[in-house]
Amino acid sequence: MTGRIWLIAGPTASGKSALALRLAQAVGGEIVGADSMQLYAGLRVLTAGPTPEETARAPHHLLGTVDPADGWSVGRWLRAATETIGAIQARGRDVIVVGGTGLYVRALTAGLAEIPPIPPFVRRAAEAELATLGEDAFRGRLAKADPAAANRIAPGDRQRLVRAWEVYSTTGKALSEWQAADEPPLAPGSWTAVALEPPRDALYARCDARLAAMAADGALDEVAALVARDLDPNLPAMKAVGVREFAAHLRGETSLEAALAAAQQETRRYAKRQTTWMRGQMGDWPRLTGLDHRDHWRQFLALHPTLTA
């Protein structure tokens, strides 16, 4: 018997990990992380990864397992996640994929085209053109080459606008065409999804409180240990929210209060970007509202009444 596949997405601090754990315990499932920062070892506190108590309650995969010196791409995560999901299903157990990295989740459900590498100078040129032309004019130019991407990319998402243009300008083929030619690892109809979308103000308040608790509970030690390794600053783990801000404090460049305030602000911005991305890319997924984990579970059961509380 092959286990079911559940997908849970949501912005940081929305309560998705608690819901995933509750579901895993209810169905006897295993959790697969879809978070580009929780993937790395040594950053459990800073990235709000699962605690030892939580991992003891249900098996967790692709969470805190990769050395920060080893920067993973979306494609590498996708290959590992696909293999892990297959192994869990072969055991007859349900799979609960949970995370806030929307591109990871979308790669599972929509595929990830093997696009040729883009030279750095092409990306720099595209970024300069976007800055010169402005978003509207740049989007208009993209629409002539890749209308599907121009319509799909959310307003303000400059990174994906640049990505769509650099792919077209390098390969002569629209990013949408590359993506359409790729088969997703999870076939349509093989998975069930839900997205968490709490009220903005309540989510931001939780982000602030959680980061303050992290700073008092070991996040500074994690950042100190990471910085001491003198890793390439361009590695993904070095870009985790809080690393740059707390590292500045550890170097004596700013107070802890100022570093915390800066990290909190960046966390709120990150949560906003995640929510905007989900609205654009997961607009048809059922939504769970609020922040209380008990409310989430009640809403989830209402969507899936065959599950037991």
Q: Are residues 33 and 147 in the same domain?
A: no
Task: Give residues with Cβ within 8 angstroms of 10, minimum separation 6.
Answer: 16, 100, 195, 196, 197, 198, 274, 278
Using alpha carbons, select from 56, 69, 119, 33 the residue that is nearest to residue 232: 69
Could you tell me if 11 and 102 lie in one domain? Answer: yes
Task: Tell me whether residue 157 is in a domain.
Answer: yes
**Residue type for 227, please?**
V
- Length of the chain, in residues: 309
Choice among 53-62, 231-240, 242-251 with the minimum mean pLDDT: 231-240
Give the pLDDT band (50/70/90) at residue 1. Answer: low
* Residues facing residue 80 across a β-bridge: none
Q: pLDDT tens for residues 100-139?
A: 999 999 999 988 776 778 888 998 999 999 999 999 999 9
Question: Which residue, of 165, 180, 195, is where some domain finishes?
Answer: 180
pLDDT for 33: 98
* Pairwise CA distance, residues 232 & 116, whole Å: 24
d(CA 285, CA 270): 21
Alpha helices in the chain (DSSP H): 16-27, 52-57, 74-90, 102-110, 120-133, 135-145, 147-152, 158-171, 175-180, 200-216, 219-228, 243-250, 256-281, 293-303
Q: Is residue 198 domain-shared with residue 272, that is, in the same domain?
A: yes
The predicted pLDDT at position 303 comes to 96
Same domain, 201 and 290: yes
Q: Which residues of 43-56 are buried (b: 16+ CB within 10 A; e: fewer)?
A: bbbbbbbbeeebbe
d(CA 154, CA 31): 30
pLDDT value at residue 309: 58
Work out the average pLDDT over 129-155: 93
The reply to whether 61 and 188 lie within a common domain is yes
CATH of the domain at 24: 3.40.50.300
- Whether residue 308 is contained in a domain is answered as no
Same domain, residue pair 18 and 95: yes
Percent of the chain with pLDDT over 90: 82
Q: Do 108 and 17 form a contact (C-beta atoms < 8 A)?
A: no
Return the structure tokens found at 307: 């599950």
Give the DSSP letter of residue 239.
Answer: G
Question: Which one of 130, 156, 180 terminates a domain?
Answer: 180
For residue 309, is it within any domain? no
Q: Residue 239's pLDDT is what?
A: 93
Q: Tokens at residue 251, please? A: 């170097």
pLDDT tens for each residue of 6-55:
999 999 999 999 999 999 999 999 999 999 999 999 999 999 999 999 99
Are residues 140 and 75 part of one domain? Answer: no
145: domain CATH number? 1.10.20.140
Of 180, 200, 216, the position where a domain reaches its end is: 180
Q: What's the one-letter identity of residue 25?
A: Q
Q: Residue with structure tokens 């709490």?
A: 198
Phi, psi of 162 (to 5 degrees): -60, -45
Rounded CA Rg of the chain: 20
In the chain, the number of structural domains is 2
Per the structure, the complete domain to which residue 155 belongs is given by 120-180
Q: Are residues 142 and 207 in the same domain?
A: no
Cβ 66 vs Cβ 39: under 8 Å = yes
pLDDT of 154 reads 87
Evaluate whether 138 touches 165 at the Cβ level (below 8 Å).
yes
Whether residues 105 and 229 fall in one domain: yes
Give the mean pLDDT of 220-246: 96
**For residue 170, is it within any domain?**
yes
Asked if 192 and 6 count as a contact pair (C-beta separation under 8 A), the reply is yes
b/e sequence 165-177, b meaning 16+ C-beta within 10 Å: bbbbebeebbbbe
- The verdict on residue 195 lying in a domain is yes
How much is the pLDDT for 176? 82
What is the percent of the chain with per-residue pLDDT over 70, rounded to a whole number? 98
Residues 88 and 218 in one domain: yes
Q: Determine the 3-state secondary structure of 104 from DSSP.
A: helix
Q: Kindly state whether residues 176 and 188 are assigned to the same domain.
A: no
Residues 191 and 276 placed together within one structural domain of the fold: yes
Mean pLDDT of the chain: 93
For residue 308, is pLDDT > 90?
A: no
Kindly give the pairing relationship between strand 5-9 and strand 191-196: parallel
Q: Is the pLDDT of residue 180 over 90?
A: no
Are 104 and 181 a contacting pair, CB within 8 Å? no
